[in-house]
Amino acid sequence: MTIAPETAEQVTEGERASRGRGPSLYVQVLVAIALAALLGWLAPDWGIAMRPLGDGFIKLIKMLIGPIVFTTVAVGIAGMGDLKKAGRVGGKAVLWFELMTTVALVIGLAVAHLLRPGSGIHAQLDKLDTGVLDKTLSAPHPQGFVAHVLAIIPDSFVGAFTHEDILPVLLLALLLGSALARLGKRAPLVLSLFEQLAAAVFGVVGIVMRLAPLGAFGAMAFTVGKYGIGTLGSLAKLMGAFYGTTFLFVFVVLGLVMRSMGFSILRLISHLREELIIVLGTSSSESALPRLMGKLEAAGCGAPVVRLVVPTGYSFNLDGTAIYLTLAALFVAQALDVHLTWAEEGQLLLVLLLTSKGAAGVTGSGFVTLAATLAATRSVPVAGLTLLLGVDRFMSEARALTNFIGNAVATLVVARWERDLDLDKARAVLAPRRRPPAQP
């Protein structure tokens, strides 16, 4: 059974058709971000009032993520027709996710030790205003290994789609895909139904994405209006360290991975530039998930691999979030003059390897995950996260962008590893551009 190739591509068809009628979505979002920053700077109250636009767009996208993950993963596994192959692809993906997440966590830890962004602040815990923090972290979250594992199992089939966590939906999709793969001759009819359902959901995504400029405008206007660019001076060192570290990770670590396959990280970024601008404007990597799948298939990745690896990576492969977690945790410790032993840092790293897997790809999830980790290890006071409230929103863009690029690279790696990568297509899109020979 083959996967219908049109489902993921439908997301971009509307944009291709509309390019002759006006600016592309890429240009519209860029203009919206620029206007939003200007509004938030000149009229902060008006900028804050634009928040419902950003929140509404994110809610529309989150509404569709569950059905997208459920249908694409289930169809992807069933479409392979071989549970051994599905298990092999999933195993390779998880292995790669763990490797890159560990590298990202260690890099964040190393940079925190090297630059010590929190040293010199000497914040006093009893003088911190934790009222806003209490509101931010009011939602319950699982703590401990057993709680995280049990949280993956939904209370009911429908209940998996009523929570923000992708993992319960992913579990149902894995079970359904495995069951469909075992049906043999009875599978095509059911599989065709799910393919059509996936096509319909992607069609809805295409409609929702037309609102991306409004969503980006609202999110950016609120951020600049609420926190103000000028208020970030005291935390500039942390922001600079984080942005520099994500830049290093993308262009050095992921760049070397792409080079080892004969591709260019710059060409990949150029190929995904429209999606990256949407992620930048909304601070959410989920906002471009369907489009990413279409772009990766266009770059030669096999549809079954794309539809299994990409949705899974949104919960298990959050490289930008991993960097943020270790860097921010040590920043808080340094700012509060809390000395962590190597054993405590090792414990923090091990816990983060678990808790980072449950972070959704939406804005603010990294902050909640960090709070859960500090509460579990008790090595750094959770109240110290108050120091990050003013700047966390400005770092969420870099987290989302790094997560997004990391998942694209992971899918290419697994597709190449699985020999399900059309090298001619991939080289045409991602191979480094060769300079023409010099004229004698």
**Contact (Cβ atoms closer than 8 angstroms) between residue 351 and residue 373:** yes
pLDDT of residue 120: 73
Residue 405 scores a pLDDT above 50: yes
User: Considering the chain, what percentage of its residues have pLDDT values greater than 70?
Assistant: 73
pLDDT band of 279, cuts 50, 70, 90: confident
The SS3 assignment for 421 reads strand
How far apart are the C-alpha atoms of 421 and 412, rounded to whole Å? 8
The SS3 assignment for 301 reads strand
How far apart are the C-alpha atoms of 302 and 154, rounded to whole Å? 30
Predicted TM-score (pTM) above 0.95:
no
Average pLDDT over residues 34-42: 84
Residue 298 scores a pLDDT above 70: yes
Residue 102 scores a pLDDT above 80: yes
Average pLDDT over residues 191-219: 78
How far apart are the C-alpha atoms of 399 and 410, rounded to whole Å? 16
- Which of these ranges, 128-132, 266-270, 308-312, 422-426, has the smallest mean pLDDT? 128-132
**Contact (Cβ atoms closer than 8 angstroms) between residue 72 and residue 201:** no
The radius of gyration of the chain's CA atoms, rounded to the nearest angstrom, is 22
Interior angle at CA 165, CA 288 and CA 129, nearest 5:
95
- Which of these ranges, 78-92, 105-119, 405-419, has the smallest mean pLDDT? 78-92
Average pLDDT over residues 267-276: 90
pLDDT of residue 126: 62
How far apart are the C-alpha atoms of 344 and 350, rounded to whole Å? 10
How far apart are the C-alpha atoms of 50 and 226, rounded to whole Å? 11
Distances (CA, A) of 324 to 161, 244, 337, 338, 372: 28, 11, 20, 19, 14
Average pLDDT over residues 370-394: 70
pLDDT band of 250, cuts 50, 70, 90: very high
| Domains delineated in the chain | 6-430 (1.10.3860.10)
How many helical (H) and strand (E) elements, i.e. helices and strands, does the chain have? 21, 0
Q: What is the DSSP letter of 285?
A: G
pLDDT band of 204, cuts 50, 70, 90: confident
Residue 257 scores a pLDDT above 90: yes
User: Considering the chain, what percentage of its residues have pLDDT values greater than 90?
Assistant: 10
Mean pLDDT for the chain overall: 76
Average pLDDT over residues 231-246: 75
316 or 99: which leads in pLDDT: 99
